[in-house]
Structure 1
Amino acid sequence: MNEPTKLNKIFFSISMITIIFTTGLSAEKVRIAILGDRTGGHVPGIYGEIVSEIELMKPDLVINVGDMIEGYTDDISEARNQWLEYLNIIGIFSMPVYLIPGNHDIWDDNSEKLYREYIGEPDYSFDYQDIHFVILDNSRWYSSEELPQIKIDWLEQELAPYQDKVVIVLYHRPFWFEAIAEGRTDLLHQIFVENNVDAVFTGHYHTYFSGSYDGILYTGVGSSGAGSHPGPAGPQYHYMWVTVSDELAEPEISIAIIAKDAVYPWDEVTAGDLIFIDKLEIQGINFLNSYVYDENLNSEPMEINLQVTNINSEFAVADTLTWEIPQNWEIDPAVVPIDLAPGESTVITVNAYNNNNSVYPLPTVNYPLPYREDRTYQVEKSIGLQRTASMYPVETDLIIDGKISESCWQNPVTDLFTSQGLLNGIDSVEFYFCIDQNFIYLAAVCFDPEMDSVVAEVEERDGPVYYEDCVGYFLQPDRGNRTVYQIYVNPRGVIYDAKIYLDYQGLEYDNTWNGHYQIATTEDEQKWTVELAVPLEIFTTGYDLNNGWGLNFRRKQARLNESTNWQYPISYDPDDYGILRIK
């Protein structure tokens, strides 16, 4: 067993759990507070309030599920200050605190060294009375199958000797949700079943959910201060309260979420509920056409059709579809009563007009759809936009040198929007597109009056360039196929790319897909430039040059901690994209 070192201890706040086991414990109960994520768009003050609340309740020990600092910075001094801030917050605890790394705590080798300096070993185990706790670091991996074999071997060695004890495993990323909750196999779950693990706690998603699989209680702890929404039900900010006891004659497990003002049953939101709600988000409301702009952001009044579908096969719904309409838009009618039987759809037509040059905020439509008996989820979607950009034929040889000098590079797109809907809210940028029979050519000129502040540290292929200064493209070469190719490039010419497919069944994200490119970048005192030749042959799902491509693109500027987007929001859903046509 690896004992925790230094401060491998902590707390999280938003829910409470009571778990009662009868395996080999003394008659005394063990009370455990489990904290959720603090960071990832954290709300100042929330985590500290939860810490104070837990201290008043005096549990026997406190554990967290990761994401203690915002991280994702190359500034070591900044990261050190974040760790000192966090340790100061939890310094009021009078009981043992055990910490788990999340992806905001360890994101690369340097951050792991810093974690070991301030907190201790990322992987460890410990015993409290007759309970065996195992802490597994999965901060930098995306599935159980990606975990290094050395971690798997260590985990099996930590679990095998304790099969007659209560065993609780905690790690940050909820691999189980994408696997066993979806009916797929999961390597970690197989190991847990073989070794009689009793309960598993995870974080990362900032929303609460739970499930029981092969006798193991799985709990996704929500937010204890990280940016979040309340979810379909239950408290927004919470922590878990776990009680382990053998006082009863028969084994019994009772779990409840406790927030400041309410008590919820353990199955208030199940993993099945959350999976169904994900489908509601995708299938419940769909725009059948988009509001169209020309290349100069001009538009005319037009009819917009949307389909509302009750995908629940058991429960009907009768309610009112309503629009939230900003001042820059007109929508008529704004209120529509709708009755839907189980499995039924209906199409609604409204008249829409963007009455000035301010595109954002967008009109938003809402309708509650059932996910369980007497439970509905408010599905909300913004009206779809469709801008148009042009790609110009290459008539002479195009040299990829980062200089943007050939005649085909013309009429760049310069009007982009920030996440707040502000037009051209960061330093200027120019996006260009060209095409020939073998390649699509992409170029961007990114102006910056403080070129010394441009961030471009990532050097390895498929590294996290999207956290630095970069440009990003989302290309749908065949609008009849929902496959999207994502390409990010930083000022060093380092690529991150992925192949994405999103439909009514869910999202398939393949970051192992790699295209091959010709690329060149240049810099001067006022700007950095990227020029990229993308072979059409890498689009293995096909491409259609006659009917236009689905497109979105963006520039991210690290110094300003902001991005500008051709169409907002940036998403993997090609229904949200504009059109790229040959001029």
Structure 2
Amino acid sequence: MRRLIILLALAGVAGATAFDFVVLGDRTGTAHDSIFVRVLEEIRLLRPDFIVGTGDLIEGYTDDIGAAAAEWDRVLELLAATGVPGFYAPGNHDVWDAASESLFTARVNAPTRSLAHGNSFFIFADNSRWVSFSDWPEEQRRRFRAELGKARRYQHRFVLMHRPWWRYALEADRPDTLHEWLRAAGVGWVFTGHDHFYCSHVRDGINYSQVGPSGSRLKVHSDRGRGGFQNYLYGRVVGGRVSLTVVEPGRLYAPDVVTLGTVEALSRARDAGVQVDPFPLGPGQGRESRLRLALTDVAGEGQGGQMTWRTEGTHWHIQPDALSFLIEPDGRGEFDIIARLGDLDRPWPPPMLELPWRHSGGRVTEIEIPLPVKRRARAGAFDGPPGDTCWQAVLPLEHLAGNSLEPGAVEPAEIRVGFDSLNLYLSIRCHDTRPDLIRAEVTGRDEPVYGDDHVNIVFDPDPAATRAWAAQVAATGDSGLPSPPYYQLFVNPRGTIADRRCRFFGRRGERDWSWDGNWTVAADTTDPDGWSVTLACPLTEFGDVHPEEWGINAVRYQSRRRATGTWQPPFRHDPRTFGTLKR
């Protein structure tokens, strides 16, 4: 709080030649309004000249435009209570179709617009509905470049848009036309959101910031070292100088507290530097397993210190629970541990490995890595379409973990999978103690059901091909090799389906919405304890496959809790991370 008082003192001395502004990140998806309200209370105390935002203020994704308008009523009332005017770029939760775009324009501001203030010019661009710059329609590009032209008369030029295309281009090592436009126009600052973690990067004199979350859930990264904390930005312009401060409610940081380079270095550490054999969990597996822990200095700076397993509040025991280590630059060390799970029905939260990691020219960050758990399940083997008696004999995918690997984030769900010689079958039951608050609004095929209660399942019908692909990627170092196809299904309580065929490569891959499985769906809307759906799909829809072994993962989203539960956490669009399903 002392640091916030210092910031308030700085804000209070602004005069005619200076102004202050705040940059808000995502409130949604999955808003936590206790955090958002605290952020807004700090803004009220800071008294900036205005707020700018990178989008995702409402949950959206609904066919009921009246419900979306009611969401805007509430959010705009919260923002108005700060007494500070606001200007916002739209996020994908704010604008997802033509009707929501019209609503955003009427209630907030034009999706693409600009703001001149003193010697500074702010451009708000709409990239809410387009995954990459290559998808951006020509009309959007024309409007944006027209705003860039207006900015040339101003000393300081800022751009806000929702999706961090700048980061995606850097991570994929591909040409970035948008960056070239920004550089040529003399833009100095770019603020984006969407992925719910903070990082900064400077390129060709442009200061990029990925802001947030400012009340939404942590999504891509949940660890602080990689920007997984609630935040917003406080900016100040005094003549020819612009300063930015990263504000976590009650705490202040410099803009480089987390850089894109830090995120990449710590991601390499977690992916390749610290490797722990996964604990096998599922039918036929025991409570105890001997695992290998390997440390490889992928940073090339030498590693050393003490690693500790934190098990309090879990049902796990690790021996030894602490080890000293010293790894030469580019070296490697291996250690054996014994992991024991006291209650097989309570794997969450897992134990957490803590250790210091040197990177980025001597910088040391304490990293936390959960014990990996590889879940296994059994599918039902049927002679034809299954009835209730057949389903009762199938063990479900259950015991889901929240975003922080905590139990009980959502109410219980049971997801059962089975096969006969022709079809894949699914039986989904999601318990809910308030069935009157279950949200099921979307009715159109492949329309966004993400705001509804729903279950999301990914299937890898050929794990052997996936293992061969993974070995090729590891051997060649070519992360651009596309994975074999896997398939994703979303279904809400009405039985509304959205599905797609996916491939993973680089860091994102591709998702093909033109693929439509031939699903047969039956939804039970009379279940007094929640909602239930059964589905069937011909195996031929998934190619030439055999159901002896599939990769699988499943996620339940419970809208009234604004929470997710994952069977094989964390959920990633990478078939190497899926659990195993066997007949």
- Return 61-70 or 140-149, whichever deviates more: 61-70
Partner of 1:509: 509
Name the SS of the counterpart of 2:270 in structure 1: helix
- Matched residues in 1 for 2:500 and 2:443: separation? 14
Look up the match of 2:204.
214
1:356 and 2:343 matched: yes
Cross-structure match for 1:419: 401
- Which residue number in structure 2 is paired with residue 100 of structure 1? 89
Q: Residue 535 of structure 1 aligns to a residue in which SS?
A: helix
The answer on whether the counterparts of 2:446 and 2:513 sit within 8 Å (CA) in structure 1 is no
* CA RMSD, 1 decimal: 3.9
For residues 310-362 of structure 1, the C-alpha deviation after alignment (integer angstroms, 9 at most, x for no partner) is: 31023433332424255533322211222222333333222222233433222
Report the CA distance between 1:416 and its aligned residue: 0.9
Asked if the contact 2:499/2:517 (under 8 Å) is kept, the reply is no
Higher relative contact order (CA 8 A, sep 6+): 1
- Partners in 1 of 2:561 and 2:36 — Cα distance? 26
**Matched residue, 1:333:** 320
| Equivalent-residue separation in structure 2 for 1:286 and 1:318 (angstroms) | 17
Between structures 1 and 2, the one with greater helix share: 2
Q: What amino acid sits opposite 2:533 in the alignment?
A: W
8 Å CA contact 2:55–2:193 kept in 1: the answer is yes
One-letter identity of the residue aligned with 1:433: G
Tell me the equivalent position of 2:354. 366
Are 2:489 and 1:475 equivalent residues in the alignment? no
Report whether the alignment pairs 1:433 with 2:438. no
| Per-residue CA distance 1:349-397 (angstroms, 9 max, x = gap) | 2222223343322233233322321322413123313323135376xxx
Report how far residue 580 of structure 1 moved.
Answer: 2.4
Structure 1 residues 67-82: aligned runs within 5 Å: 67-74=56-63, 76=65, 78-82=67-71
Residues of 2 paired with 1:239 and 1:406: CA distance? 51
Instruction: Report SS of the residue matched to 1:308.
Output: strand
Within 2, Cα distance between the matches of 1:221 and 1:430?
36
Is the Cα–Cα contact under 8 Å of residues 32 and 242 in structure 1 kept in the other structure? Answer: yes
The answer to whether 1:190 aligns with 2:180 is yes
Alignment match of 1:272 (pick from 257, 261, 264): 261
CA distance in 1, matches of 2:147, 2:368: 44
1:135 counterpart = 2:124: yes
CA distance in 2, matches of 1:557, 1:93: 30
Paired position in structure 2 for 1:444 = 427
1:357 and 1:458 mapped to 2: Cα distance? 37
Query: Which digits, 9 at most, give the CA deviation of each residue in 1:189-245, with x for residues without a partner?
Result: 222123222221112233322122222221222333334457328894443233334
2:306–2:355 contact (8 Å) kept in structure 1: yes
Compute the displacement of 1:117 (Å): 3.1
Alpha carbons 1:387, 1:567 under 8 Å: kept: no
Q: 1:242 aligns with which of 231, 235, 240?
A: 235
Give the whole-Å Cα distance in 2 for the aligned partners of 1:34 and 1:155. 20
Distance 1:518 1:236, change over 3 A: closer
User: Does the alignment pair 1:299 with 2:292?
Assistant: no
Structure 1 residues 413 and 315, CA gap change in structure 2 (3 angstroms): same
What do residues 243-297 of structure 1 show as CA deviations (whole Å, max 9, x unaligned)? 33446xxxx66544356766543323222212222222322333334324316xx
CA contact (8 A) 1:474 1:485 kept: yes
C-alpha distance in 2 between matches for 1:45 and 1:561? 13
Q: Which moved more, 1:33-42 or 1:255-264?
A: 255-264
Q: Which residue of 2 aligns with 1:118?
A: 107
Is the alpha carbon distance of 1:70 and 1:424 closer, same or farther for their aligned partners in structure 2, counting shifts above 3 Å? closer
Q: How far 1:415 sits from its partner (Å)?
A: 5.0
Amino acid of the structure 2 residue aligned with 1:128: H
Q: 1:274 to 1:182 in 2, by over 3 A?
A: farther
CA 1:157–1:232: 2 relative to 1, 3 Å: same
Instruction: Note if 1:178 corresponds to 2:168.
Output: yes
Q: CA separation in 2, counterparts of 1:48 and 1:89?
A: 7
Q: Secondary structure at the match of 2:463?
A: coil
1:410-448: CA deviation from partner (whole Å, max 9, x where unpaired): 842335123356699757645232254xx6623325477
Name the aligned partner's letter for residue 216 of structure 2: A
3-state SS of paired residue (1:267) = helix
8 Å CA contact 2:438, 2:560 repeated in 1? yes
Match of 1:203 among 193, 211, 224: 193
- The residue type equivalent to 2:187 in the other structure is V
Contact persistence 1:40–1:226 (CA under 8 A):
yes
Q: Distance in 2 between matches of 1:333 and 1:220?
A: 39
The equivalent residue for 2:375 is 386
Cα deviation, residue 66, structure 1: 1.9
Gap regions ≥5 residues in structure 1: 1-12, 17-25
State the one-letter code of the partner of 1:336.
L
Give the aligned partner of residue 552 of structure 1.
553
| Contact 1:332-1:352 at 8 Å conserved across structures | yes
Whole-Å Cα distance in 2 between the matches of residues 225 and 75 of structure 1? 24
Query: Partner residue of 1:312?
Result: 299
Contact 2:428/2:534 (8 A) holds in 1? yes
* Counterpart residue identity of residue 193, structure 1: R
C-alpha distance in structure 2 between counterparts of 1:364 and 1:325, whole Å: 9
CA distance in 2, matches of 1:528, 1:260: 42
**Residue identity in the other structure for 2:416:** F
Mapped to 1, the partners of 2:92 and 2:305 lie a distance apart of 42
Deviation at 1:154, TM superposition (A): 0.8
Alpha-carbon distance in 2 for matches of 1:345, 1:262: 37
Cα shift at 1:531: 0.7
Q: Counterpart of 2:186 in 1: which secondary structure?
A: coil
Which range is displaced more, 473-482 or 153-162? 473-482
Change (3 A) 1:132 1:544: same
Alignment coverage as a number of residue pairs: 539
8 Å Cα contact 1:66-1:100 kept in structure 2: yes
Query: 1:493 Cα shift?
Result: 5.5
Closer, same or farther in 2 for the Cα pair 1:162/1:562, shift >3 Å? closer
For residues 29-48 of structure 1, the C-alpha deviation after alignment (integer angstroms, 9 at most, x for no partner) is: 34333233334444434444
Taking structure 1 as reference, are residues 363 and 194 closer, same or farther at Cα in structure 2, changes over 3 Å only? same
Tell me, in whole angstroms, the C-alpha distance in 1 between the residues paired with 2:250 and 2:556. 43
Q: Of 520, 524, 533, which residue of structure 2 is paired with 1:528?
A: 533
Distance 1:286 1:191, change over 3 A: same
TM-score (norm 1): 0.79
SS in 1 for 2:134: helix
Cα displacement string for residues 482-519 of structure 1 (whole angstroms, at most 9, x for unaligned residues): 446232142546232242437xxx52331126545332
Q: 1:496 aligns with which of 499, 513, 517?
A: 499
Q: Distance in 2 between matches of 1:552 and 1:233?
A: 25
Task: Give the share of equivalent positions with the same residue, in percent.
Answer: 24
- Shift of residue 53 of structure 1? 3.7
- Give, as a single letter, the amino acid of the residue that structure 2 aligns with 1:501: F
TM-score, scaled to structure 2: 0.79
> Are the aligned partners of 1:321 and 1:338 in contact in 2 as well (CA < 8 Å)?
no
Residue 98 of structure 1, CA deviation: 1.7
